[in-house]
A and B are shown apart, each in its own frame.
Chain A
């Protein structure tokens, strides 16, 4: 063995020693077993009663303050949409500032088309639809994350690890419901957490507590005695964009076909 060979082999051996066995572990079958046995006692679900919503926007305001989403930035974790269906078949939809200040004008904001006012006698029906993260059972946003920064907890809530997110935006594009955005301060993906910090303390979400009309409810679908579970299992509820196969866990009472 000459000196050149010795140096090379010594370096390879040293490198091999330096690699701990844990670093070579890519898949551990024991850890994967958690998936099969992971049937917890809690699975948070949400129920929105469209009949009860009046578009006051207290939910949006409370959410922004509670979750430190910059108040004046045009981003929000939850929002309320107004649908006005006219007698000649038009559907006008708006959500000024995500309804942070509620709906206070009869004029419907049609962006480039300006403000549109529909005469009361020409309104066939009008209603308000609160929207938030659907905390899907098969969250498309989690699947597309290339770094494992967004994930689903045992209770079914999808969270974002702010220290781990690289800001690629795949999840923002991947969500069929458009609930994700970039946080203007942290510059990472941001989304509704079902007020995870409140639910784990036995409280309700900030939007549920702020709603004066009981249009928003949160409950545990694995608890058969939960009033929300009873409504979901016994009444005519619907979900948004079921065809995407994401199994959304925000249920709607009184959902109209105009709602997208």
Chain B
């Protein structure tokens, strides 16, 4: 057979070879088929460790009690016991080292997440004491009158009563 017939074949083989060489350079060593098989488990194994190393921000209320015992016990004996400290005080990261202090969310918008009244009978939301945020002391922060760590009885703060 003539030389010009073989020439395209050599070119194709060279391209395939180049792709295979490039693949070994570009594809990470730990890229392969793992526990969930070829269809679902084909991936770079070290990415799992990368996701595991992702930083935890919300450390839960477990650590809070060590230093803030009074506040912790107050809320634990109130109707707000099931609300995590971090829901209002923000994620603790590495508090008390970093950050030294947390930013407390005292805004109305935080409280009305649950306490904006909804007329939903048969749903728990309809049973939570609620207000109309557009009518109930619209200029005030909820915490000016209500104590979030001990919400009952309502309007508990002394300065409000007098």
Q: Which residues of A contact B (CB under 8 A)?
A: 8, 11-12, 15-16, 18-20, 22-24, 27-28, 31-32, 34-36, 38, 40, 51-58, 62, 65-67, 84, 101-106, 120, 123, 125-128, 138-139, 142-143, 148-154, 159, 161, 163-164, 193, 196-198, 200-201, 203, 206, 209-210, 212-214
In the complex, the answer to whether A161 meets B58 with C-beta atoms within 8 Å is no
A-B contact count (CB 8 A): 184
| Most A CB within 10 A of own CB, among B40, B53, B84 | B40
B10: CB under 8 A from chain A?
yes
Contacts A23-B23, A34-B37; is A62 near B87 (CB within 8 Å)?
Answer: yes
| Further 4 A-B residue pairs, CB within 8 A, beyond A19-B17, A58-B113 | A101-B113, A103-B118, A203-B60, A210-B87
Docked CA distance A196–B53 (Å): 9
Do A8 and B10 touch across chains, with their CB atoms under 8 A apart? Answer: yes
A104 contacts B91, C-beta separation under 8 Å? no
Q: Is B21 an interface residue (CB 8 A)?
A: yes
Q: Do A101 and B109 touch across chains, with their CB atoms under 8 A apart? A: yes
Assess whether B33 is in contact with A32, with CB atoms less than 8 Å apart: yes
Binds A, one of B94-102, B122-130, B142-150, B151-159: B122-130
Q: Scan B43-69; emit 1 where CB is below 8 A from any A CB, else 0.
A: 110011001111111101000000000
Question: Main SS of chain B's interface residues?
Answer: mixed
B58 close to A210 (CB less than 8 A): yes
The complex places the Cα of A213 from the Cα of B81 at a distance, in Å, of 10
Q: Is the CB of B43 within 8 A of A148?
A: yes
Cross-chain contact of A34 among B20, B33, B51 (Cβ < 8 A): B33
Q: Could you pull out 22 A-B pairs where Cβ atoms are within 8 angstroms?
A: A8-B10, A12-B10, A16-B17, A19-B20, A20-B24, A23-B20, A32-B38, A38-B41, A51-B124, A54-B123, A101-B113, A102-B112, A105-B116, A106-B118, A120-B119, A148-B31, A151-B47, A159-B48, A193-B51, A197-B54, A200-B52, A210-B58
Bound: A214/B82 CA distance, A: 9
Q: Which residues of B contact A57 (CB under 8 A)?
A: 113
| Shortest beta-carbon distance from A70 to chain B in Å | 15
How far is A210 from B82 in the complex, measured between Cα atoms in Å?
9
Cα A84 to Cα B120 in complex, Å, equals 9
State in angstroms the CA–CA spacing of A199 and B36 once bound together: 19
